[in-house]
Every structure is written in C-alpha cells, then in structure tokens.
C-alpha cells in the first residue's frame, strides 16, 4: 500500500492527479520496484511507463498488463492502482516460479486515465494507440491554463534517462485488471469477473450565456440568469434520460462571476452520458442539443461534444483464456459488462484485449471510501498471472 500513501487524503482516499508532483513521486516508486525486480523501464512521448520482463524471444511482441496510477481528486486507493500493482505482483510471481515465457511480459502505467486535471482523460492510451492526435492532447489546458505539454515536460524531466518507445509499438495482447466500480460481483459473491465489453459513453460541455445584474435591483422579469437557465436544462435532461435509465452525470458545474450579489452571467457544465446499448446511447446523446435549445431562454446555450466512445465487445479468445485460467485455479468467475471506461477501451483497437474485474465494497468508486478485500484482490491477481503466462507461452 506504499503507492496509496502518495497523495493520501485525510479521509482515507487518494488525490493523485495526472502530471502533478504526487504522480512524479508515484512514478519514482514504480521505477524503484521495477529496478528491484530487474525489469527494464521504458517511457514514450506522453509519459506512459512500461516495465519489461524479457521473454526468451526478444523479437516477439510482448504481452502487456497494467492500468493507470492517477486518481480523481477525491479518489480511492484501488481505481487504476490495483491494475498496475497486480501486474507487478504477477511478474514477481512469474520470477519466483522460474517461469520462462517466450514473449516478454510488460506492466504498463498509462498516463492520465481519469481526466480530472486535463480533460478528457485516457491520454496515455489514446496517444499510444493514435486514437487521438498527440498534438491535440498536448494543447489541453488545466483550470489554471497550464498545458499538458508543460506539465508533461516536468514529469518526463524527473526520470530523464529512460529509453523512449515509439507510439504504436506492437503488442501481442493487453489484459487490464481493475476493481469493478459497481456492485455486481459483490452481490453475486464472486471474486473475479471476465469482462465482456465496455459500455459506451458520450461527453459534452454546455455553456449558458445570460447577463450579469444586481441582485437587489434588477427586476426578476428582466433577468437573464444563466444559473437558473442551466438548472432548467439539467432538469430537462434528467427527465429525458430517465425512461431509459441512462447514466447521466453533471459532475462539473461552474458559474460566472460566482459571487453572492450578482445575477450569474454564465454557467458552464459537463454532461457524462452512458448506456450499454449503442443505439440508445446514440439516440439520447443526439437529443441533448434540442433540450438545451428548448430550455435556455432567455439565455443562450452552446453545446460541444468532446468525447464519444461506442460500446465494444472484447474478443472471445481472450475472454476464454481468462475464464480458463480462473477455472484451472478453481476461482469462481462470471462474465460482466464494464459500465466504466478504461484504457483497455483504447487498446482494444490496437491488439487483442481483455479485462479482469474484482469486487469493490458496496460498488463504491471515485470516492475516498473505495475499498476491496485482500482475498478478492489476490484472486484477481492469480487469474491475471495465469492468463499472462498462458498468453506469453503459447505463441
């Protein structure tokens, strides 16, 4: 748990935002671990970290596992970090067992999965797989106007001697272990989920422009209050999505000038919309613009879609390999759909990809109270190790 101490919060959670000093410290810890295990360390132009256990055939594409080490501002100890730590433990177990795989096995920490400071996230896996142009990623700014490029420079400068790998380097297979972040495994009493695919999502930003006015003098009938217009829009969106039980979250909500005695001139908010059915997701997402237009008056609303991810299914062969590994170890496992996005979403378009889920307490995540049992985490790690050995050996 030494990783969880970096950015630890008073409430037992973790705040380790991407490309911060906390992340630099966490990267240093991973590099120390890797060096202690004798792994070679690589990075790339977005700062992803790869830790390589060499296989007998250095020309064969590696089998890669891992996740991310950045967290939400009030995040937990396991989201992301578990996948990286499980990767290290799997590699350590292979070393202890004297495993001699043909393919190299690598642990990866993808940069900025969460997208809290620099949004949208998945920057590391999207850059590596060329799903988003690196130039566009580097231009993204945080709330203080600092660019990703500038923050990244400091992160890369902190470990200047690492060999840089090209984006898109071939990978034989990618397996990501992650806590479920939902209640299904816990409610079924099963320690491992073989992930069938990932729920799609659409992300928007809405800007509502009204007019500033004096809280004591401006007649109510003459106001163009951007906050009240934004509230009407959010409520109308909630009503629009409710019949399909789509996941609808307004997580970011900023008001300008945001002082008590001025009628707000501007409101700016995020929309995160998800649904496992691709057609429903498309229909609901397409309805947002009209809802905004219908409820913005007397203000004006502008909407921008900043990220879209279709629902996807992982290849049957990978899912079967994971299920077989669990079966051999006598660890109960069930198929499960991932409702959250993960770096595996991007890797899916680059190489055969799969995911292993483990339960988390009450399904709670993106919350400082995030929790998981050592037994469940160990079960997931054992299935991961067996899967990696199988994939790296049967070439």
Question: Which region among 88-96, 222-230, 289-297, 345-353 touches a copy of itself (by CB under 8 A)?
Answer: 222-230
State in angstroms the smallest separation of the CB of 127 from a copy of itself.
19
Closest to a copy of itself by CB, 42 vs 268, is: 268
Strands (E), 44-104: 49-53, 63-68
Closest to a copy of itself by CB, 262 vs 289, is: 262
Residue 5 CB partners (closer than 8 Å, separation 6+): none
Q: Which of 37, 262, 300, 312 binds a copy of itself (CB under 8 A)?
A: 262
Rounded distance, CA 288 to CA 286, Å?
6
Q: Quick check: 393 binds a copy of itself (CB under 8 A)? A: no
Question: Which region among 149-157, 158-166, 260-268, 319-327 touches a copy of itself (by CB under 8 A)?
Answer: 260-268
Return left, alpha or beta for 75; rule: phi > 0 is left, psi -120 to 50 is alpha, else beta. beta
Is the Cβ–Cβ distance between 23 and 123 less than 8 Å?
no
Q: Which of 248, 311, 314, 348 binds a copy of itself (CB under 8 A)?
A: 248
Q: Quick check: 199 binds a copy of itself (CB under 8 A)? A: yes
Q: Quick check: 270 binds a copy of itself (CB under 8 A)? A: yes
Residue 390 CB partners (closer than 8 Å, separation 6+): 321, 324, 325
DSSP 169: -
Q: Which of 145, 189, 214, 330 binds a copy of itself (CB under 8 A)?
A: 214
Residue 53 CB partners (closer than 8 Å, separation 6+): 37, 39, 91, 94, 95, 104, 105, 106
Q: What angle do CA 295, 301, 302 make, to 5 degrees?
A: 140
Helix crossing, 21-37 with 81-96: angle to 10°?
A: 10
Report how many residues bind a copy of itself under the rule CB under 8 A.
67
Site map for a copy of itself, 276-295, x if CB under 8 A?
A: --------------------
Q: Quick check: 316 binds a copy of itself (CB under 8 A)? A: no
Rounded distance, CA 22 to CA 114, Å?
15
Closest to a copy of itself by CB, 176 vs 225, is: 225
Q: Which of 339, 351, 378, 395 binds a copy of itself (CB under 8 A)?
A: 339
Q: Quick check: 260 binds a copy of itself (CB under 8 A)? A: yes
Q: Which residues bind to a copy of itself, rule: CB under 8 A?
A: 72-74, 114-116, 119-121, 180-183, 199, 201, 203, 211-220, 225, 227-228, 231, 234-235, 238, 242, 245-265, 270, 272, 274, 339-341, 363-368
């Amino acid at each position: 748990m030494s990783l969880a101490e970096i950015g630890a919060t008073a409430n037992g959670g973790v705040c380790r935002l991407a490309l911060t000093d906390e992340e630099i410290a966490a990267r240093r810890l991973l590099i120390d671990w890797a060096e202690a295990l004798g792994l070679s360390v690589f990075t790339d132009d977005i700062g992803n970290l790869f830790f390589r256990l060499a296989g007998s055939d250095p020309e064969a594409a590696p089998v890669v596992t891992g996740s991310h080490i950045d967290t939400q501002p009030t995040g937990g100890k396991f989201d992301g970090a578990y996948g990286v730590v499980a990767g290290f433990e799997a590699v350590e177990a292979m070393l202890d067992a004297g495993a001699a795989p043909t393919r190299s096995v690598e642990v990866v920490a993808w940069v900025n999965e969460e997208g809290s400071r620099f949004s949208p996230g998945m920057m590391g896996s999207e850059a590596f797989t060329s799903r988003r142009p690196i130039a566009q990623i580097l231009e993204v700014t945080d709330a203080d106007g600092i660019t990703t490029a500038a923050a990244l420079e400091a992160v890369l400068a902190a470990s200047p001697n690492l060999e840089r790998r090209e984006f898109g380097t071939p990978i034989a297979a990618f397996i990501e272990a992650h806590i479920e972040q939902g209640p299904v495994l816990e409610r079924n009493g099963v320690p491992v989920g073989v992930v069938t695919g990932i729920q799609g999502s659409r992300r928007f930003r809405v800007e509502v422009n009204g007019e500033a006015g004096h809280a004591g003098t401006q007649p109510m009938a003459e106001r163009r209050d951007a906050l009240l217009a934004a509230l009407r829009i959010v409520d109308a969106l909630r009503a629009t999505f409710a019949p399909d039980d789509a996941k609808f979250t307004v997580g970011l909500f900023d008001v300008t000038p945001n002082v008590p005695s001025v009628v707000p001139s501007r409101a700016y908010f995020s929309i995160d919309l998800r649904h496992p059915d691709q057609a429903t997701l498309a229909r609901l997402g397409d309805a947002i613009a009209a809802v905004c237009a219908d409820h913005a008056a007397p203000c004006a609303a502008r909407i921008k879609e900043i990220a879209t991810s279709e629902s996807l299914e992982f290849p049957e062969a990978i899912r079967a390999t994971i299920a077989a590994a669990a079966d051999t170890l006598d660890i109960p496992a069930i198929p499960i759909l991932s409702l959250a996005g993960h770096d595996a979403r991007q890797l899916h378009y680059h190489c055969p990809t799969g995911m292993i889920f483990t339960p988390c307490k009450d399904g709670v995540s993106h919350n400082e109270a995030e929790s998981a049992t050592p037994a469940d985490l160990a079960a997931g790690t054992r299935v991961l190790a067996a899967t990696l050995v199988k994939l790296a050996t049967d070439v």
